[in-house]
């Protein structure tokens, strides 16, 4: 009986295991719930996965912040390059302005240095012109005086000739011969006076022509000197105005 009960108990136990195995095999959740981990790091691995996701999010935020900072720095660099280009352009403009100022100042100094020479040259030309004019006027006056004297002499000779001709008609033959000789002499003198008067007239005409030519030449020189002087004065005024504006 004991052996029969033992066998019966063994059968019951075997049937319970089979029933339990059947139920658990049909229900996978029961099997997973009751199954122990095969490796001791499995539990820690399951807890590590959410932490890795959090770390990736943090890294993503850090990378985004760095990207924003890089973009900000790039914008700042672009602004700096733009301002640098503006400064370079302004610097070139200032250099050009300085160069124009230097040229204007140099030209102004050159004009100021040349002005005394122009004034002195103009004064000297005016002095020479006045002296030449005075000399030419004196020469013309002398020639005119000589011509006047010769004309008076000619008039006197003509008067004497007229008187002698009248006397020859009134006197006798001997006296007529003498008077005729005197008349011939007076005629020679008259002819000589005419020649000298003609020479003096030609001399006066030549002197007057030379005087007009020289006078016109000196007048042209004077006008040119006045023009250069006026241009120099205008240039000085313009440069003075330019330096005041700059």
CATH topology for 26-245?
Helix Hairpins (1.10.287)
Question: Do residues 182 and 161 lie in contact, with contact meaning Cβ atoms separated by under 8 Å?
Answer: no
**pLDDT for 23:** 42
Length of the chain: 246
Give, in order, the Cα–Cα distances in Å from 244 to each of 122, 237, 240. Answer: 29, 11, 6
pLDDT of residue 179: 67
HSE-CB at 169 with a 13 A cutoff on CA atoms is 6
Task: From 149, 160, 152, select the one nearest 185 (Cα to Cα).
Answer: 160
> What burial class does residue 38 get, using C-beta atoms within 10 Å of its C-beta: 0-12 exposed, 13-18 middle, 19+ buried?
exposed
* The pLDDT value given to residue 33: 44
Q: What is the pLDDT of residue 97?
A: 76
Instruction: Determine the pLDDT at residue 51.
Output: 54
| pLDDT reported for residue 52 | 60
Domain boundaries, the chain: 26-245
pLDDT block averages, 10 residues each, the chain of length 246? 42 47 44 45 46 72 82 83 84 79 65 66 76 78 78 77 69 63 77 78 77 76 76 74 65
Q: What is the pTM of this model?
A: 0.34
* Interaxial angle between packed helices 173-245 and 42-170, expressed in degrees from 0 to 180 and rounded to the nearest 10: 170
Give the C-alpha separation, 127 to 121, whole Å: 10
């Amino acid at each position: 009986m004991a052996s029969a009960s033992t066998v019966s108990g063994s059968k019951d136990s075997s049937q319970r295991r089979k029933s339990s195995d059947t139920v658990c095999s049909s229900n996978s959740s029961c099997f997973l719930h009751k199954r122990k981990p095969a490796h001791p790091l499995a539990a820690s691995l399951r807890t590590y996965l959410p932490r890795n996701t959090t770390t990736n999010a943090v890294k993503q935020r850090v990378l985004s912040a760095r990207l924003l900072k890089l973009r900000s720095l790039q914008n700042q660099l672009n602004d700096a390059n733009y301002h640098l280009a503006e400064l370079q352009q302004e610097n070139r403009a200032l250099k050009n302005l300085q160069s124009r100022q230097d040229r204007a100042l140099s030209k102004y100094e050159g004009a100021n240095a040349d002005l005394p020479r122009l004034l002195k040259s103009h004064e000297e030309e005016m002095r020479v012109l006045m002296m030449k004019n005075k000399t030419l006027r004196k020469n013309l006056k002398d020639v005119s005086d000589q011509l006047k004297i010769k004309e008076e002499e000619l008039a006197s000779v003509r008067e004497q000739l007229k008187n002698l001709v009248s006397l020859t008609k009134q006197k006798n033959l001997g006296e007529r011969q003498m008077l005729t000789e005197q008349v011939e002499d007076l005629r020679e003198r008259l002819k000589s006076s005419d020649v000298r008067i003609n020479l003096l007239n030609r001399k006066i005409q030549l002197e007057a022509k030379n005087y007009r030519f020289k006078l016109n030449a000196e007048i042209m020189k004077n006008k040119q000197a006045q023009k250069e002087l006026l241009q120099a004065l205008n240039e000085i005024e313009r440069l003075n105005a330019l330096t005041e504006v700059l």
